[in-house]
Amino acid sequence: MDDIGERIAELKKERNAVILAHNYCLPEVQDLADHVGDSLGLSIAASKTDADVIVFCGVTFMAETAKILSPGKTVLIPDPAAVCAMAQMCTPEQIRTEREANPGLEVVGYVNSTAACKAEMDICCTSSNAVAVVSSLEGEGAIFVPDKNLGSYAASKCPSKRMVLWNGFCPVHQSISVQQVTDLKAAHPGAEVLAHPECRGEVLELADVVGSTEAMLTHCRSSDRDEFIVLTEVGMRHRMERSCPGKSFYFPESAVCGAMKMATPETVATLLENMDRRVELPADIVDRARRPVQRMIGGS
């Protein structure tokens, strides 16, 4: 372990802290984390931990979700400027207006949303369980916020449900083009194509498998193929290469989320020393957002 790794290990022990890192974080941050995963896996880890302090290496909505699930714990984020662009595309007021315009529809919200928006939702979902959540609705259908691509994908798998889609999107996945996929396929004709459901519909049509980052990883581990074109953020390469030695992964190299790269080993060490950059949320928001988030992880 290098110097900074040792410093973080000592501080973690001293603070009784756990480090969670999203699959899109820098490789060196993933390597120092206790749990690396997608939003659903990390939400579950945050809800189960015995640690007093949760250091969330990811974007602010993820750290907020950890705080909603564990309001008594100290949740820290290495850089509070790490904001998901998609989460900014929807406001609580807009959700209330849409709900009034569509009586009878439940509000299903992608976890990539602010805590204040979650407080307006009936149930949250992640890319791992969006289809299962929509298909489990007892009513006529849903207003799906904020990702139009994930909403459209879930709607295609649940044709009996009426879906009102928001106009939000992830700029990173939205920017992956048909041309990029076609070029990657031409360069690697034997590769299987895996796509994240935040990609545009015409890109998903070119994929052999559509799924969350965890679903992609599970597929690559069990597949007898050894080459994969992976249509998601490039940070996923590190975990795939570690988990599937001997297999090759090709990404659209422009698919980089700057917010996900803000956490570094240095900022994590400084954070654990200073114990600042705490996630604080109004108590009423935490109370109202807890139910939809717990429903998402199967907690109630």
Which residues of the shown chain bind ligand SF4 in the complex (CB under 6 A)? 24, 59, 84-86, 112, 170-172, 233, 257, 259-260
Q: CB-wise, 53 or 84, nearer to ligand SF4? A: 84
CB of 256 to ligand SF4, least distance (A): 9
Q: CB-wise, 11 or 115, nearer to ligand SF4? A: 115
Q: For residue 186, give every residue at least 6 positions away whose Cβ sits within 8 Å of its Cβ, in sequence order, or none.
A: none
- With beta carbons less than 8 A apart as the criterion, state whether 211 and 194 touch: yes
Question: For the chain, where are the alpha helices, taking DSSP H only?
Answer: 3-15, 27-32, 39-48, 60-69, 92-101, 115-118, 130-136, 148-157, 171-174, 178-187, 201-204, 213-222, 236-243, 265-274, 283-296
CB of 110 to ligand SF4, least distance (A): 9
CB of 145 to ligand SF4, least distance (A): 13
Cα distances (Å, whole numbers) of residue 216 to 62, 127, 130, 208, 265 = 20, 11, 15, 11, 26
CB of 81 to ligand SF4, least distance (A): 13
Q: CB-wise, 44 or 85, nearer to ligand SF4? A: 85
State the Cα–Cα distance between residues 58 and 205, nearest whole angstrom: 29
Cα distances (Å, whole numbers) of residue 235 to 21, 24, 168, 172, 250 = 11, 4, 22, 12, 12
Q: CB-wise, 64 or 233, nearer to ligand SF4? A: 233
State the Cα–Cα distance between residues 186 and 188, nearest whole angstrom: 6
Q: CB-wise, 152 or 223, nearer to ligand SF4? A: 152
Q: CB-wise, 86 or 143, nearer to ligand SF4? A: 86
CB of 36 to ligand SF4, least distance (A): 15
State the Cα–Cα distance between residues 231 and 177, nearest whole angstrom: 10
CB of 46 to ligand SF4, least distance (A): 17
Quote the tokens at residue 23: 């699959």
Q: CB-wise, 170 or 269, nearer to ligand SF4? A: 170
CB of 258 to ligand SF4, least distance (A): 8
**Is the bond preceding residue 189 a cis peptide, omega within 30 degrees?**
no
